[in-house]
């Protein structure tokens, strides 16, 4: 279950998670490599992924409102 204050209800957190996964896959081994991977992640995240996160948030918010502050998952 998610409370109304859950970070899972924040599309920005989901984008950061996607970017973190992208960066980790690139095996950063220096500050310069890390910075390049973060920049690459920012430019490569598909708009469809971002829209998916936003639509998911709307669905979850609708559930939270319906359930008076809690979303039922599953």
Would you call 30 exposed, middle or buried from its count of C-beta atoms within 10 A (0-12, 13-18, 19+)? exposed
pLDDT of residue 31: 97
In order along its 74 residues, the chain shows pLDDT tens digits of: 555 566 667 788 889 999 999 999 999 999 999 999 999 999 999 999 999 988 888 887 787 778 776 655 55
- Give the pLDDT of residue 18: 95
pLDDT tens for 53-62 read 888 888 877 8
């Amino acid at each position: 279950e998610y409370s109304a204050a859950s970070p899972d209800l924040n599309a920005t957190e989901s984008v950061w998670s996607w970017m973190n996964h992208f960066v980790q896959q690139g095996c950063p081994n220096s500050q310069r490599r890390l910075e390049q991977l973060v920049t690459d992640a920012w430019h490569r995240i598909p708009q469809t992924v971002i829209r998916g996160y936003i639509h998911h948030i709307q669905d979850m918010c609708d559930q939270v409102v319906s359930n008076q502050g809690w979303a039922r998952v599953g």
